[in-house]
Amino acid sequence: KIRCEPRSVSLKVGQSTTVGIVVDNVNDLYSIPLLLQYNPAVVSIEDIQHGGFLSGGTQEIAIVSRVDKEHGQAIISATRQPNTPGVNGSGTLMGIVVKGIAPGSSNLSIVQVNAKDSQQKPIPMVSSEATVQVQP
């Protein structure tokens, strides 16, 4: 499973918060590219932070992100170093820094996940979404 934590966030215009992208009970997770969708009229994605889980505590991991603010999409990929095993268990993959830009409501939806293990085999994941409420 992959999910947003917390599931629901309330912000004022101009305020930022971090929403964690969390995986549950994964085996041999090596790389995880995902597509995040949001309402660009209500929120913007300011930054992507390392969550620590994929690094297994010791590894440098590569996070590559491309945020399309016009269409409200972020393509984010986190990958472990070549020739290292994947990681097992549950934890925070990354933090998405979200800023409220106008009053309203936006889903933060993980719409596509192409998780792979260290053998480059796909790992099926069920994803969920979070809701961001922005107050004036």
Res 75: pLDDT: 97
For residues 75 and 65, the answer to whether their CB atoms sit within 8 Å is yes
Res 57: pLDDT: 65
Q: How many CB atoms lie within 10 A of CB 23?
A: 24
Stated pTM of the model = 0.94
pLDDT per residue as tens, the chain (136 positions): 999 999 999 999 999 999 999 999 999 999 999 999 999 999 999 999 999 999 986 788 999 999 999 999 999 999 999 989 999 999 999 999 999 999 999 999 999 999 999 999 999 999 999 999 999 9
